[in-house]
Chains A and B, each alone.
Chain A
Amino acid sequence: DIQMTQSPSSLSASVGDRVTITCRASQGISNYLAWYQQKPGTVPQLLIYAASTLQSGVPSRFSGSGSGTDFTLTISSLQPEDVATYYCQKSNSAPWTFGQGTKVEIK
């Protein structure tokens, strides 16, 4: 099975900072990559699908890029409400494996 590896596992940044999270697949998955945000105590929400398509209602400070094996989620200007754990997930074929998550905190 294809493994998904996120880095870093956690980060602390200041409000207004640009934040980048990476996700690497152990084999190519084209653009079958989604990003989810899970705020503390809440249900995960879809942020981005097809590697770079922003889900409806998601702020434009979030963006995704990549194809093949290497992907990034960028928050252009970190806001206090972005404190959450972010997960990537492959969806080219079963199993739809998640990355281990990246916890984002405010410095």
Chain B
Amino acid sequence: EVQLVESGGGLVKPGGSLRLSCTASGFTFSNAWMNWVRQAPGKGLEWVGRIKSKTDGGTTDYAAPVKGRFTFSRDDSKNTLYLQMNSLKAEDTAVYYCTTGAWVYYAMDVWGQGTTVTVSS
């Protein structure tokens, strides 16, 4: 079964840091471009960014609101994606989804269940 499982969410104070993890199974993780998508309470979907496969350069792209504060990384030996979030703001409060295009190109056909990040004092 193709699956993405996020973990690491929680309550953090403004200015704090948090690291999310996403563990993949059921597909060849090392070949996958992995994305993070978030959804603030009652709001729409926001693409946070992505990390390409190492064979495609392993490069990262970030949405403007998180650039310079968030960092994506991956450990292909553990089939795990990471999102390091620093200098967190109240507006980063959201459900964070790990996603990928496991069987399609240029779309996201596999989503994790999401992990909630709350930034509040």
Contact = CB atoms under 8 A, between A and B. Distances in A.
B45 A38 contact: yes
Interface of B: 35, 37, 44-47, 49-50, 61, 63-64, 97, 103-109, 111-114
A43 B47 contact: no
B46 A98 contact: yes
Contacts of A97: 47
Interface bracket on A: 20 to 34
Interface of A: 1, 32, 34, 36, 38, 43-46, 49-50, 55-56, 85, 87, 89, 91-92, 94-101
A64 B114 CA distance: 27
A95 B106 contact: no
Given A43-B112, A87-B44, A95-B64, 10 more contacts: A36-B45, A44-B45, A46-B104, A46-B109, A49-B106, A49-B109, A56-B103, A95-B61, A97-B47, A101-B45
A99 B50 CA distance: 18
Contacts of B64: 1, 95
Contacts of A95: 47, 49, 61, 63-64
Given A43-B114, A96-B47, A100-B44, A91 B61 contact: no
Contacts of A46: 104, 107-109
Contacts of A85: 44
A105 to B, nearest CB: 16
Contact of B113 (A32, A38, A43, A99): A43
B45 A49 contact: no
A33 B47 CA distance: 14
Contacts of B63: 95
A49 B47 contact: no
27 contacts: A1-B64, A32-B106, A43-B114, A44-B37, A44-B97, A46-B104, A46-B107, A46-B109, A49-B105, A49-B106, A49-B107, A50-B107, A55-B104, A55-B109, A85-B44, A87-B44, A89-B47, A89-B108, A92-B106, A94-B50, A94-B61, A95-B49, A98-B44, A98-B45, A98-B47, A100-B44, A101-B44
